[in-house]
Amino acid sequence: MQLLPDQELHVAIIMDGNGRWAVERGLPRTAGHMAGVNAVRTVVEAAARRDVAMLTLYAFSSDNWKRPRTEVNSIMQLLVSRLPAESKKLSREGIRLSVIGRRDRFPDAVLQAILNAEALTRDGDALHLRLALDYSSRAALVCASQHLNGDVRHNLEAVQHALARAYHTETLVPDVDLLVRTGGEQRLSDFLLWECAYAELFFTPVRWPDFDDIALDEALTEFGSRQRRYGRVVEVA
Ligand code: FPP
């Protein structure tokens, strides 16, 4: 169920490897997250110049609350300190930012930074950047199922609407075309399970802070070489 204009892609990225990037340099893990934000900026700018209509970044999973308090606090602090300036830049670039995930467990300052960033960038139409924060795909599906009633059991569109509600967004949930995971692991970690039904998967050992426009191009080139069959048989000439 495609919901973006033809030829325009939904790229989703599991930004993994910040901690190892830092430890490999003798730095605290939090330095990896700081460097990770710079990579976010590089990749967002690069995506806006490519045929990417939507970019969804996994920035904080619901399971990440289980990390040491100091690390969680530093990621929350990064959001508070970086979102205001970043969203001003995004707004100038015509990039819309929205956040998917739960909103009831953030410190007030984080929630306020999210709401401000969404309000400031809401008219952007060059690229839709979504940050997944306190995000769990399974939890979103459970939440969506509570918005469904018995009549719509086999109706994909009804699930799309219910998921959009669960994500606190009026935008329907477009299929992911390309899912990238950095950092060398090869798993989905509860990210966009519904939307990745037909996603092409691209795994790279590159740590997230080192992922840049060239790395994005490599993933897009590989994606371009894949044959997407959606269960069909493709005739060989
Ligand atoms: C995964 O690396 C990364 C995270 C859990 C946090 C990512 C968050 C950001 C880049 C900050 C986003 C903020 C803004 C303002 C966009 P890891 O820590 O799991 O790395 P490891 O697997 O090497 O330990």
DSSP one-letter string for 55-94: EEEEEEEGGGGGS-HHHHHHHHHHHHHHHHHHHHHHHHTT
Amino acid at 5: P
Per-residue pLDDT of the chain (237 residues; tens, 9 = 90+): 545 555 689 999 999 999 999 999 999 999 999 999 999 999 999 999 998 999 999 999 999 999 999 999 999 999 999 999 999 999 999 999 999 999 999 999 999 999 999 999 999 999 999 999 999 999 999 998 888 876 666 678 888 888 888 887 777 788 999 999 999 999 999 999 999 999 999 999 999 999 999 999 999 999 999 988 888 887 776
Return the ligand 1 atom nearest residue 60 CA.
5
Q: Is 73 a catalytic residue?
A: no
pTM above 0.85, yes or no: yes
Query: First CA to last CA across the chain, in angstroms?
Result: 28
Beta-carbon contacts of 118 under 8 Å, excluding residues fewer than 6 positions away, are: 97, 98, 99
Q: Which two tokens stand for residue 110?
A: 């984080």
DSSP conformational letter for 152: G
Confirm or reject: Cβ of 78 under 6 Å from ligand 1. yes
Q: Which two tokens stand for residue 66?
A: 């289980």
- Cα 36 to averaged position of ligand 1 atoms, centre (Å): 6
Residue nearest to atom 24 of ligand 1 (CA): 19
Return the ligand 1 atom nearest residue 75 CA.
11
